[in-house]
Structure 1
Amino acid sequence: MNLTEVYLIALTIIFAVPWLVWRVARTDHWAPLVVVQIVGGILLGPGVLGAVFPDYYAFVFRPDVITALNGVAWWAVMLFVWIAGIELDLSQAWKHRGETGLTAGLALGVPLLAGTAAAAVILQFPGWRGANGEYWQALLGIGMACAVTALPILVLLMEKLAILREALGQRILRYASLDDIAIWGVLALILLDFDRLARQAIFIAGFAVAAFLIRRLMARINEADRWAVGLIWLAVCGFAGDWSGLHYMVGAFLAGVVLDAKWFGHEAMDRFRNTVLLTIMPVFFLSTGLRTQWEGGGLAVFGVAALLLAAAVGGKLLGVHIAGRLLGWSRTEASLIGWLLQTKALIMIIFANILLDKAVITPTTFTALLLMAVGSTMLTKPFATPLIAKLGERVKAEA
């Protein structure tokens, strides 16, 4: 078979297998389609499919096919991160800055401390810190991975739970929005490259000027043209971010942050995000799965993943409960918010991908972080659903 035919076989597998599992097994209560796709990527990777059927794996996922898939995956994740940046609405966070700042700070800070403590234990052993990563970079990177909340996945989950447009859902979005900003800020700190400091300074200064100009332009053109201009802006920022030594995904996120969702229309943004998730993000999930490795031994990886999961879940719940006590929430309300903020999946995986690209962590550490993200996201809906039912009408009450 030629390259095109094998490539299309790979695409068929990527799209068909997770969707069929999700549809036939009806996993939505504990694993929405996006989680099934992520797990599917792991199973289709070298650690599972490659180990069980090595000849078939080598035939379908050969290097030239992987190269072609990676090109799609890069653009897919850039689009997704760009959308996440656009959807950040910091005006409401500023309006309620006291409550939002306290809750977001504790919801991020406590699991960050817990994750950093877990990382300190893990990094005592060889094979977990990347070749180019300083100890503090790996420590902070793993700790922040435990604190991440995936804002786009949170939006999808709260849509399914019918609380996205309620007062409580909007409050939770404010907390997650501030945490999203902090996550990318910490990532920029981790990736700070003193050898490219001049380039990074040029990027920051140039981006500030370009952002001012792009906002003026976007406000003056019609909605149809905004999509085309926005995509050109995304590609340019991705290139500039990577050239500066940060990462193309940092550039993509910043490209979205400086744009307003109202310029595109919220319903159009929802449709576009869902289209990206359906049509090209599964290719990114597969490329993520292809990066999973079990070099440290299966039990060691699962043990580290379990430790990180305990730090992530326990730290997030503790942080939100402390905020709830200070703000006078009920235990049920604090538990619901804590569980909903557990959604990690995509943003954590993107975060870990960048750390792996920069060799701050090893492929084995990446695999453990990936398992932790999947576990955390899968726990969210089963624990949140009964809490929403228990709160009842209070979900709709004004904050």
Structure 2
Amino acid sequence: MTSHATTLLLVLALIIVLARALGAGARALGQPPVIGEVLAGVFVLPLLIDTGLADGLFPTAIRADLSALANIGVALFMFVVGMELDGDLLRGKGKLAAAVSTACIVLPLGLGVLLAWFLADAHAPSQRTGFFVFLAVALSITAFPVLARILTDRGMQRTPVGSLALTCAAINDVFAWVLLAVAVTLTGQGQGNQWLVLLVFPYLAIMLWVVKPVLRRLLVDRGKLTPGALAVVIAGVLLSAAATEWIGLHLIFGAFLFGVVMPRDGARELVHDKVAELNGVLLLPIFFIVAGLKVDLSAFSTAGFGELALILACAIAGKFLGAFGAARLSGMSTRHSAVLGTLMNTRGLTELIVLSIGAELGLLDAKLYTLMVVMALVTTAMAGPLLAWLYPPSAITADLVAPRRAKTPA
């Protein structure tokens, strides 16, 4: 007789192998590996379950274990995102970054509210105001980590348009997390204890004036990463995530802020690499599976395809037109403006986390959740082919050489 532990270990092995295989396949097709990993969790394994080929793998007890592990994976991922959000990107970039960032937030927010108004009656959200805010936020997301990896893979990170895209995505992320916190608060989670939200202010003070100096002494002044120091960091991430979950926000906010307050020198890179590698191999693929178990394949009906077309139109238009229009009005070339609009449309894993929160809070039903997941995949997957057309290697090389020529004396 197969024990619970045996089944769980078999499931974990299957998840890791499938995620790595499809991730490698996506990379071979010129896509970020996260596309293949998401497909493994969101469609392949749920499809096996629906066809009866994996009936014994996901009993209720196993799903509870996977959900717990997925939450840890999300917390560690948001910690890494916070570490990658370099504050230097947010300073000294001038009016262009401010204009593009504002347009990439305001236009998607407006289209998101209109989309929510159109979809609200059909999908009967549990809290209409929260639903409107949440859908607006979901359309305004740009996945900073996925964007950074696309730029690195294509050698664009040092080009002017690549640097600008990273800056705008960083600003976009900050505003998106703030607005998501508002949406979570509006759902009225934790009835009777809403006063706990006021604890966010002393929590922020502790993070900035107590935790941040302690981390600096631990990781910078000592100059090396010991197993004990790494244990303190991981425990700190989990405690910070638990704190924001308890006060009425989501655990992602605590994990994200812990990453933000990490020192920018010392053993920071070692912490980043160790956490990101283990999390990417084991825990994030589990999150993809848990997210995939919420997918409702019946969403792909005639009405569902109509709603999907509308969601895609609002999502793509909001980001692309916002970035393209603001960049052109600020004097950027048509090519660079189009490249910027394409980059700002990448949503990836960050969007999937946001959508999972929406489903957890009752703001998205199974069908709308499924359609939004498809939108996240499409808007991320389309970046590669569009960039290959809009910004070929010859144009990237020309942009990298141009600044050096400008500095060369005549």
Give the TM-score, by structure 1 length: 0.90
CA distance in 2, matches of 1:97, 1:201: 34
Q: CA deviation at 1:92?
A: 2.9
CA distance in 2, matches of 1:323, 1:19: 39
* Mapped pair 1:181 → 2:174: yes
SS in 2 for 1:123: helix
Partner of 2:15: 14
CA distance in 2, matches of 1:169, 1:150: 14
Structure 1's 5 and 202: CA in aligned 2 closer, same or farther, altered over 3 A? same
CA distance in 2, matches of 1:9, 1:350: 25
Q: CA deviation at 1:174?
A: 0.7
Q: CA deviation at 1:103?
A: 1.0
Q: CA deviation at 1:178?
A: 0.4
Partner of 1:70: 67
CA distance in 2, matches of 1:237, 1:251: 5
CA distance in 1, matches of 2:26, 2:247: 45
CA distance in 1, matches of 2:378, 2:207: 40
Which AA in structure 1 matches 2:12?
Answer: L
Post-superposition CA distance 1:85-116 (Å, at most 9, x none): 12112223221142221111112221222222
Structure 1 segment 323-334 matched on structure 2, within 5 A: 323-334=326-337
Q: Is the 8 A contact 1:90 1:178 kept in 2?
A: no
Partner of 1:308: 311
Which of 50, 74, 89 matches 1:92?
89
Which AA in structure 1 matches 2:234?
Answer: L
Q: Is the 8 A contact 2:108 2:314 kept in 1?
A: yes
SS in 1 for 2:66: helix
Which of 390, 395, 399 matches 1:391?
395
Q: Is the 8 A contact 2:76 2:279 kept in 1?
A: yes
Partner of 2:165: 172
> Over the residues paired in the alignment, what is the CA RMSD in angstroms?
2.3
Structure 1 segment 4-153 matched on structure 2, within 5 A: 4-23=5-24, 25=25, 28-44=28-44, 46=46, 48-53=47-52, 56-125=53-122, 128-131=123-126, 133=127, 135-153=128-146
Q: CA deviation at 1:300?
A: 3.4
Q: Is the 8 A contact 1:41 1:289 kept in 2?
A: yes
Structure 1's 67 and 26: CA in aligned 2 closer, same or farther, altered over 3 A? closer
Which AA in structure 2 matches 1:20?
Answer: A
Q: CA deviation at 1:75?
A: 0.7
CA distance in 1, matches of 2:134, 2:26: 35
Q: CA deviation at 1:189?
A: 0.7
Percent of residue pairs bearing the same amino acid type: 23
CA distance in 2, matches of 1:122, 1:288: 22
Which AA in structure 2 matches 1:52?
Answer: T
Partner of 1:210: 207
| Range moving further from structure 2, 177-186 or 112-121 | 112-121
| Range moving further from structure 2, 137-146 or 269-278 | 269-278
CA distance in 2, matches of 1:20, 1:209: 43
Post-superposition CA distance 1:294-314 (Å, at most 9, x none): 465644334323221111111
Post-superposition CA distance 1:330-360 (Å, at most 9, x none): 1110111111111111111111111211112
Post-superposition CA distance 1:270-322 (Å, at most 9, x none): 56424422232111111110111246564433432322111111121111111
Q: Is the 8 A contact 1:42 1:290 kept in 2?
A: yes
Which of 221, 242, 245 matches 2:245?
242
When the two structures are aligned, how many residues end up with a matched partner? 391
Which AA in structure 2 matches 1:96?
Answer: K
Give the TM-score, by structure 2 length: 0.88
